[in-house]
Structure 1
């Protein structure tokens, strides 16, 4: 089975981490985020993937080459962003599948543990033009909702509303009949959610919903990105791409953690990173070459490549860009982001993203 992997977004919600690295390539539980998707796709029977790229397109082939995690890879780039449907159509000429074959569509910012094989089986059994993975959420008002009938056919795509008719939402993984992809206009900006799927439904085509409420996470925000890495390290979702066994922490080659430091809660410590004695790091991502000094505390945060946290400093829900540094005594909280190369001098002042 072939797949198209949508990785063209700029990842603006994750800045400053995405200034130099596309969101799908950010280190997540010891590997680029996409490595986890590739490994899970291979386990589901995918043998070939077309990357639909745009932002920093050249970095994807440099990272994965022509094959990785048991999957053959090829790359197609958009000159201008074409939306989800347009990106799928733009990548389609690189497919080798026949007109009736299933083609899996994956989003490069979704971490999901759902049963892809079961989704494909439903698609083929129903003779569907497209089959969507739908998940259930506690607060569907934050999302568009996707109702289905008694046979599992999708009946509508509804915008966000305070009174949603269902708790089912689009989880961002689709199976298309190859010929259905060719109905998407070529070279145009198209939303698969707002145009392609509603168009298929209105024309009488079968669009199915595979409802599965297992692990699912959109890693597009800093909080969700940290959570995704933490959940992988802790084993809440399995990934063949993780370079180590699940546990309280994951140490990559060359990482140095003092026996007097506390590193736990699903923390990933990158290559050459160091945590000194007396420091506490919980549920965080320390990228390659990061440094956490004696007595510092880091919780639910990302410390970028080569970034430094000074002695006694506190980071709680913070993003430090590559090469940034926080001097001793600083206290940073509540979503604060420090851009690459910025240095905060020693201080005893508390900073928060809520400060004006």
Structure 2
């Protein structure tokens, strides 16, 4: 089975992490985020994936080459953003399957443990044009709301609404029949959510909803990105791509965690990163060459490449860009983001975006 992987977004909600790296390539539990998707796709029977790229397109092939995790890889780029539907149609030119074959569509910012083979099986049994993975959530008003009838057929596709009629949302994984992709207008900006799916439903085409309430996470914000990495390290979602066994922490080669440091809660410690004695790091992501000094506390935060936290500093829910420095005694909380290269001098600064 072939798949298209949508990885063209700029990841603006994740800045400054995405200034130099596309969101799908951010290190997550020790490897690029997409490595987990590639491994799961292979386990589901996918043997060839077309990357639909745009932002920093060249970095994807540099990261994965033409084959990774047992899957052959092809890369197709957009000159101008074409929307979700336009990106799928643009990438379809590199598919090799016939018009009635299923094509799996994956979003490059979704971490999911749902049963992909079961979704494909439902698609085939129903003879559907498209089958969407749907998942129930507590607050569906934040997402695309997708009601289904008693047979699982999608009856409407309602983008974010303050009065949702169901708790089922679009979870961002689709199975298209190849000819349904070919029917999307070529070289045009098209949204599958606002145009393709509603048009198919209105035309009477079979659009099915595969409902599963397993692990699902949109990693598009810093908080969700940290949660996704933490969940993978802790083993809440299994991934054969993770370079180590699940546990309280994942420490990559050349990292150094002092025996006198407390590092737990699903923390990932990148290559060459250092955590000194007396430091505490809980549920965080430390990228390569990051440094946490003695007595510092880091919780639910991301330290980008070469970022440094001085002695006694406190970070809680903070993102440090590449090479950012937090001097001794600073206290940063509640979603503070420090841009690459910024250096906060030694001080007793206390700052929170909630203040």
TM-score bin (small chain)? over 0.9
| Structure-1 residue corresponding to 2:38 | 38
Are 2:227 and 1:227 aligned?
Answer: yes
Distance 1:181 1:253 in 2: 43
* 2:291–2:309 CA contact under 8 A, matched in 1: yes
| Structure-2 residue corresponding to 1:248 | 248
Distance 1:326 1:264 in 2: 22
- Which secondary structure state, in structure 1, belongs to the residue aligned with residue 253 of structure 2? coil
* 2:90–2:186 CA contact under 8 A, matched in 1: yes
Deviation at 1:202, TM superposition (A): 0.9
Deviations along 1:264-316, whole A, 9 cap, x unmatched? 00000000000000000000000000000000000000001000000000000
Distance 1:75 1:186 in 2: 18
Q: TM-score, normalised to structure 1's length?
A: 0.99
| Structure-2 residue corresponding to 1:189 | 189
Distance 1:199 1:45 in 2: 30
Superposition map of 1:271-282 within 5 A: 271-282=271-282
Deviation at 1:93, TM superposition (A): 0.7
| Structure-1 residue corresponding to 2:216 | 216
Superposition map of 1:119-134 within 5 A: 119-134=119-134
Are 2:312 and 1:345 aligned?
Answer: no
Gaps of 5+ in 1: none
Distance 1:121 1:305 in 2: 43
Distance 2:33 2:141 in 1: 28
Q: Once structures 1 and 2 are overlaid, which stretch shifts more, 161-170 or 337-346?
A: 161-170
Deviation at 1:166, TM superposition (A): 0.5
Deviation at 1:349, TM superposition (A): 1.8
Deviation at 1:261, TM superposition (A): 0.1
Deviation at 1:345, TM superposition (A): 0.2
Deviation at 1:76, TM superposition (A): 0.1
Are 2:332 and 1:329 aligned?
Answer: no
* 2:53–2:77 CA contact under 8 A, matched in 1: yes
- Which secondary structure state, in structure 1, belongs to the residue aligned with residue 217 of structure 2? strand
Distance 2:50 2:43 in 1: 17
| Structure-1 residue corresponding to 2:18 | 18
Deviation at 1:140, TM superposition (A): 1.1
* 2:13–2:220 CA contact under 8 A, matched in 1: yes
Superposition map of 1:165-314 within 5 A: 165-314=165-314
Distance 1:73 1:41 in 2: 12
* 2:103–2:178 CA contact under 8 A, matched in 1: yes
- Which secondary structure state, in structure 1, belongs to the residue aligned with residue 229 of structure 2? helix
Distance 1:81 1:161 in 2: 25
| Structure-2 residue corresponding to 1:8 | 8
Distance 1:300 1:25 in 2: 20
Deviations along 1:207-242, whole A, 9 cap, x unmatched? 000000000000000000000000000000000100
- Which secondary structure state, in structure 2, belongs to the residue aligned with residue 250 of structure 1? strand
- Which secondary structure state, in structure 1, belongs to the residue aligned with residue 124 of structure 2? helix
Distance 1:26 1:58 in 2: 15
Q: TM-score, normalised to structure 2's length?
A: 0.99
- Which secondary structure state, in structure 2, belongs to the residue aligned with residue 150 of structure 1? coil
Deviation at 1:351, TM superposition (A): 1.1
- Count of aligned positions: 355
| Structure-1 residue corresponding to 2:60 | 60
- Which secondary structure state, in structure 1, belongs to the residue aligned with residue 250 of structure 2? strand
Deviation at 1:139, TM superposition (A): 1.2
- Which secondary structure state, in structure 2, belongs to the residue aligned with residue 156 of structure 1? coil
- Which secondary structure state, in structure 1, belongs to the residue aligned with residue 174 of structure 2? strand
Task: Give RMSD over aligned pairs.
Answer: 0.6
Distance 2:342 2:244 in 1: 33
- Which secondary structure state, in structure 2, belongs to the residue aligned with residue 213 of structure 1? coil
Distance 2:339 2:237 in 1: 31
Distance 1:340 1:97 in 2: 44
Distance 1:145 1:46 in 2: 28
Gaps of 5+ in 2: none
